[in-house]
Amino acid sequence: MAARLSTSPVLSYAVLLPFLSRRAAASRSFSPFPFPFPFLRRSNICFSSQALSMARDTSAQDVSAQARRGFPSQVDDFASPGDLSFESPLKIVEYPDPILRARNKRINTFDDNLKKLADEMFDIMYKTDGIGLSAPQVGVNVQLMVFNPAGERGEGEEIVLVNPRIYKSSTRTLFFNEGCLSFPGIYADVERPASVKIDARDVTGARFRVNLSGLPARVFQHEFDHLQGILFFDRMTEDVLETIRSELKALEQKYESRTGLESPESIDKYERTQRQQIAGFARR
């Protein structure tokens, strides 16, 4: 199985699912679910029924090392056993906790602890009605994400991606209404490429490449941004950001009340120049 993955140059999402999913380890039967997905109403990363398609040629930019601007993906800063430690049950980290902006280290140990972390990420994802979740959202700053576009335990397929990298994205972009488990109750339009080509490892360490489009591409890019320290409002236009400003301020106030600390971020001090410094949509 691992050999087939490592020797396949580029795989489609439907072909890859039987290899990536946790359920495939117990059963080889698989029926790829259709597009568009019928599960959008369950998703905490929800999508509007009307999407504005835009053909933009956004030039590629390197990811910078500053907060809100992501981190260099080529740095071999591997996670230690301590970095991969966690306490059960996992809890969702909410904005503006600085954990969401911290560097997320790459993983080079593929063991039972990593599988257990992925399992528990799925558990909290389902409990909070999500369809995707990144490790920093549960307080573990490593390059790990899980998702299941069905958003229901026992339905769809559970995907685990380790050390993912986007090596190409489409010039065609779409606006969709997104939400985020780290921003409870907040939804707004975000522009992203319609499809991406990625390189990653599965939970066993097998490396592969895959083309994603539709809902899987949207969910992947949202979670991938988390791994770069980028939050979904970083990619919103000024007009869209203004519609959720009061809700972001409420989360900042909630953080201060809960921790007794000053909020590490303030949407009132959030400048347009900061959004302009965010990396582009990877290579075209």
Q: What residues have CB less than 8 Å from 62, skipping those under 6 apart?
A: 72, 279
pLDDT of residue 3: 27
Number of neighbouring beta carbons within 10 Å of residue 63:
18
Model pTM score: 0.76
Q: Token pair for residue 128?
A: 């909070």
Which strand (E) or helix (H) includes residue 145? strand 144-147
Burial class (CB in 10 A: 0-12, 13-18, 19+), 79: buried
pLDDT of residue 27: 35
CA dist 128 → 42, 157, 210 (Å): 10, 18, 28
Residue range 131-145, pLDDT digits in tens = 999 999 999 999 999
pLDDT of residue 235: 97
Distance CA 180, CA 226 (A): 10
pLDDT of residue 275: 57
pLDDT of residue 77: 87
pLDDT of residue 98: 98
Instruction: With beta carbons less than 8 A apart as the criterion, state whether 16 and 157 touch.
Output: no
pLDDT of residue 64: 32
Instruction: With beta carbons less than 8 A apart as the criterion, state whether 249 and 267 touch.
Output: yes
Classify domain 2-276 at the CATH topology level: Peptide Deformylase (3.90.45)
Question: CA geometry: angle at 253 spanning 251 and 257, to 5°?
Answer: 115
φ, ψ (nearest 5 deg) of residue 162: -120, 135
Strand-pairing partners, residue 159, are 21, 147
Instruction: State the pairing for strand pair 11-12/207-213.
Output: parallel
Q: Which of 54, 46, 96, 72 is CA-nearest to residue 237? A: 54
Q: Token pair for residue 1?
A: 């199985």
pLDDT of residue 75: 53
pLDDT of residue 282: 52
Instruction: With beta carbons less than 8 A apart as the criterion, state whether 223 and 133 touch.
Output: yes
List active site positions.
223
Q: Which residues of the chain have pLDDT under 50?
A: 1-70, 72-74, 279
Residue/partner pairs of 270-275 with CB below 8 Å, 24 or more apart: 270/241, 272/238, 274/68, 274/69, 274/234, 275/68, 275/234, 275/235, 275/236
Distance CA 53, CA 235 (A): 16
pLDDT of residue 172: 97
| SS3 at position 174 | strand
pLDDT of residue 270: 85
Q: What residues have CB less than 8 Å from 274, skipping those under 6 apart?
A: 68, 69, 234
Domain spans, the chain: 2-276
Instruction: With beta carbons less than 8 A apart as the criterion, state whether 138 and 124 touch.
Output: yes
